[in-house]
DNA sequence: CTGTTAGCGCTTTCAC
DNA sequence: GTGAAAGCGCTAACAG
């Protein structure tokens, strides 16, 4: 086309405020350039760094994120939402859960679009999976506690029902104890994922089993609750009891004492997810359906080494 | 239709995995049932509660959220993103910034869809606005500090350039000081919105002006950085210096000492935004384009009353 | 390379 | 009420 004509058309477009109708384009081309992402909650730790880096990765290629949150970990709610999303014909899909109903799995398989399950490293992924092994991360953290001299390690877990992630973390805990030759402790207490409930659950746990010398919290938010309760009781952490979390929220390092936890490279997860998705959208299947992402034990003050662990029994304190 | 036929068709739909093509439906009906939400960052405090309650409000009415993050507060980046979103013909739009380029404003006005600007209470909204007055919230917080006996109040602000929210908070600070008959202090230091940079900026501020007796942080995250620096220096908060934030993150109450801040009812903001949007989508204009949402001063340990403030000069301490 | 045309899968309208 | 047909605004395929 002549340069001058092109310029005139563009000026007209500008003047009239014309925006190409992507809806029509979608129908005609059978592509929407939308990536649907379904997370359990908009507030989950995943959102902050993961979605940002996923969006930053796919946006230059012209893809937008259609975001949904199930709000619960109920697989039926997830299925409903996935159905609604699939009806909008996204070019690819990201789901953050690892426990799906078989209907959901069939739905996603049938859709024919690339799907990545993110967060955990699913054994038998629907299509692809990007994440870290919850079990292995927990195992290493517990072994880290054992190595620091802790022996009576209990668990404060997020609600386990319908939550495979929590189940896998529990498994890693059991595995590590077994490996260290420590007897498995029945001291498991569950709490919803917020500071106040975690504090209460922690208090109940310590009331029941005052001899506990370390508590593994299956999420940093729970650990913050446990720390708050210790502070209320004027307990010395880690002398009275060590606390460890999992997730490395930004606030973990600012906690008092700074929280020993597992850092998860969520930004890397987002980039990787975006990369395998873009690759799959160009028709290349990735070599590996399972894409592991690093994690790292962050050793901080809340689980400093315990002096003479084997010879000295756990200190006992009157609660309150 | 006959009941039996209906059932047979539905069974067939189920069996074939038929999902109605919403893309085609969109084109034909000229409605997408998508609400586009553009935030500055997926990790902003807005995301956690606001988007969840917005989604929960509009989802039962069949609307899904198309989410975008500008990543920066650059108005040009926002304009680009808004253009891309508008091309997808959302039925309504939510934008979280309050400073928009005039092109952006024109773009949104022309689109003819309901638009709500959320977070601050815009003076001259494009269409509607839901939020609280940043200036008024800051003013009340500063007056609260004055009432508790603090006189030499400085500001640790998130980067102010291109950020109307930060500017308005600064204005509220100035207004309160003027009202209290206190001289305006030039002690303003800026930092990017993260704990580490905030700690450094706070340290620089206190080095420069050791006589400061309270620091207003324009965001809770900055306040956590300031608290971390105080702890590192073994300063007593609030004896050496009081710290106050704005935003009431979940972690504010778990901070040590617990953080005095302003609670913002983000869940209410989400619900209200969803409600006015649904109303507008049914053709009813709301009576008020500006929908204020409550805030509340949370008085906690980091700014406990100062003893004999008027007679006693600010304590001086050697830093380090 | 340019211009034309069929058709994407629905909704809506209008005739029956 | 039910059924047929037009058309939403593009893309893609194909003829010139």
- Per-residue pLDDT reduced to its tens digit, A264-276: 999 999 999 999 9
Q: Is the CB of A22 under 7 A from strand C?
A: no
**pLDDT, position A308:** 62
**In A 24-43, which Cβ lie closer than 7 Å to strand C?**
24, 27-28, 30
What percentage of chain A carries pLDDT values higher than 70?
A: 94
Contact between chains at A87 and B195 (C-beta distance less than 8 A): no
**pLDDT, position B83:** 94
Average pLDDT over residues B231-251: 94
Determine the distance between B254 (CA) and C15 (C1') in angstroms.
Answer: 70
Q: Find, among A229, A236, A293, A227, the residue nearest to A261 by Cα.
A: A227
Average pLDDT over residues A88-107: 91
Q: Which residue from A49, A67, A83 is facing B67, i.e. has the nearest CB?
A: A67
3-state secondary structure of B14: helix
Q: Which two tokens stand for residue A156?
A: 């404060």
Q: Find, among B267, B157, B171, the residue nearest to B221 by Cα.
A: B157
Q: Is the CB of B28 under 7 A from strand C?
A: yes
pTM score, whole prediction? 0.87
Residues 211-250 of B with CB under 8 A from A: 221, 224-225, 227-228, 231, 250
A183/A211 Cα distance (integer angstroms): 14
Determine the distance between B72 (CA) and C13 (C1') in angstroms.
Answer: 47
Using a CB-CB cut-off of 8 Å, the residues of chain A touching B194 are 250
Q: Is the confidence at residue A318, as pLDDT, over 60? A: no
Nucleotides in chain C near protein beta carbons (<7 Å):
2, 7-12
**pLDDT, position A74:** 77
A196/A179 Cα distance (integer angstroms): 33
Average pLDDT over residues B82-103: 92
Answer whether B10 touches A (CB < 8 Å). Answer: no
The mean-pLDDT minimum among A96-110, A256-270, A298-312, B59-73 falls in: A298-312
DSSP B185: P
Determine the distance between A70 (CA) and C8 (C1') in angstroms.
Answer: 31
Average pLDDT over residues B13-17: 81
Please name the residue that has the structure tokens 């650990």: A223
A52/A23 Cα distance (integer angstroms): 25
B36 φ, ψ (degrees, to nearest 5): -85, 130
Q: Is the CB of B16 under 7 A from strand C?
A: no
Q: Which residue from A42, A51, A106 is facing B48, i.e. has the nearest CB?
A: A42
Average pLDDT over residues B269-284: 94
**pLDDT, position B184:** 67
Q: Say which residues have a Cβ less than 8 Å from residue A8's Cβ, sequence separation at least 6.
A: none
Angle at A246 between CA A241 and CA A250, to 5 degrees: 105
Is-contact A259 A252, C-beta < 8 A?
A: yes
pLDDT in tens, A206-236: 999 999 999 999 999 999 999 999 999 999 9
**pLDDT, position B313:** 45
3-state secondary structure of B186: coil
Tell me the nearest-neighbour CA distance from A51 into chain B, angstroms: 7
**pLDDT, position B271:** 97
pLDDT band per the 50, 70, 90 thresholds, residue A253: confident
**pLDDT, position A89:** 97
Range with the largest mean pLDDT of A5-19, A236-250, B305-319: A236-250
Is-contact A293 A264, C-beta < 8 A?
A: yes
**pLDDT, position A15:** 81
**Angle of helix B195-208 versus helix B220-232 axis, rounded to 10:** 60
**pLDDT, position A78:** 87
Q: Is B116 left (phi over 0), alpha (psi -120 to 50) or beta?
A: beta
A32/B5 Cα distance (integer angstroms): 34
Answer whether B84 touches A (CB < 8 Å). Answer: yes
pLDDT in tens, B168-225: 999 999 999 999 999 867 789 999 988 999 999 999 999 999 999 999 999 999 999 9
Q: Say which residues have a Cβ less than 8 Å from residue B132's Cβ, sequence separation at least 6.
A: B120, B121, B264, B292, B293, B294, B295
3-state secondary structure of A110: helix
Q: Is the confidence at residue A248, as pLDDT, over 50? A: yes
Using a CB-CB cut-off of 8 Å, the residues of chain B touching A85 are 64
Instruction: Select the more confidently predicted residue: A77 or A92.
Output: A92
**pLDDT, position A132:** 96
Q: Which residue from B42, B88, B255 is facing A51, i.e. has the nearest CB?
A: B42
Instruction: Select the more confidently predicted residue: A317 or A207.
Output: A207
Contact between chains at B43 and A42 (C-beta distance less than 8 A): no
Residue of A nearest to B224 (CA): A254
**pLDDT, position A184:** 67
Q: Which residue from A23, A67, A256 is facing B88, i.e. has the nearest CB?
A: A23
The mean-pLDDT minimum among A28-42, B43-57, B141-155 falls in: B43-57
Q: What is the largest CA-CA distance in chain A?
A: 88
Average pLDDT over residues A19-26: 95
**Per-position b or e across A251-267, b if 16+ CB within 10 A of its CB:** bbbbbbbbbbbbbbbbb
pLDDT in tens, B18-36: 899 999 999 999 999 999 9
A219/A191 Cα distance (integer angstroms): 11
pLDDT band per the 50, 70, 90 thresholds, residue B314: very low
Between chain A and chain B, the number of residue pairs with CB atoms below 8 A apart is 131
Q: How far is the CA of B121 from the CAs of A206, A240, B96, B124, B168, in angstroms?
A: 47, 49, 11, 9, 11
Residue A272 CB neighbour total at 10 angstroms = 23
Query: What DSSP string runs through A227-279?
Result: HHHHHHTT--TTTT-EEE-SB--GGGTTSSSPPBEEEE-HHHHHHHHHHHHHH
Residues in chain B: 320
pLDDT in tens, A136-180: 999 999 999 999 999 999 999 999 887 888 999 999 999 999 999
Which H helix or E strand runs over B106?
helix B102-111
Residues 173-192 of B with CB under 8 A from A: none
Q: Which two tokens stand for residue B262?
A: 């302003």
Q: How far is the CA of A92 from the CAs of A105, A118, A123, B65, in angstroms?
A: 14, 13, 21, 16
């Amino acid at each position: 086309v002549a340069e001058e004509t092109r310029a005139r058309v563009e000026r007209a477009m500008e003047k009239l405020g014309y925006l190409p109708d992507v809806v029509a384009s979608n129908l005609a081309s059978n592509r929407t350039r939308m990536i649907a992402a379904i997370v359990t909650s908009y507030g989950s730790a995943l959102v902050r760094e993961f979605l940002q880096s996923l969006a930053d990765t796919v946006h230059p290629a012209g893809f937008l994120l259609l975001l949904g949150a199930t709000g619960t970990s109920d697989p039926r709610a997830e299925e409903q939402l996935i159905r609604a999303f699939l009806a909008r014909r996204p070019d690819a899909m990201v789901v953050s859960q690892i426990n799906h109903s078989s209907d959901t799995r069939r739905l996603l398989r049938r859709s024919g679009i690339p799907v990545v399950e993110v967060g955990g490293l699913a054994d038998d992924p629907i299509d692809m999976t990007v994440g870290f092994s919850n079990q292995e991360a927990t195992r290493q953290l517990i072994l880290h506690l054992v190595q620091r001299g802790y022996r009576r390690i209990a668990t404060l877990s997020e609600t386990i029902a319908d939550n495979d992630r929590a189940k896998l973390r529990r498994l890693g805990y059991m595995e590590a104890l077994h490996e260290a030759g420590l007897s498995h402790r029945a001291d498991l207490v569950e709490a919803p994922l917020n500071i106040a409930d975690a504090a209460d659950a922690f208090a109940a746990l310590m009331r029941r089993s005052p001899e506990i010398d370390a508590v593994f919290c299956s999420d940093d938010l729970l650990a913050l609750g446990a720390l708050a309760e210790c502070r209320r009781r004027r307990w010395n952490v880690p002398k009275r009891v060590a606390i460890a979390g999992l997730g490395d929220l930004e606030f973990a390092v600012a906690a008092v004492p700074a929280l020993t936890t597992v850092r998860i490279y969520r930004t890397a997860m987002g980039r990787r997810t975006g990369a395998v998705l873009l690759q799959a959208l160009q028709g290349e299947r990735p070599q590996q359906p399972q894409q592991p992402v690093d994690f790292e034990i962050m050793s901080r003050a809340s689980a400093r080494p315990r002096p003479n662990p084997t010879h000295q029994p756990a200190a006992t304190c009157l609660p309150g």
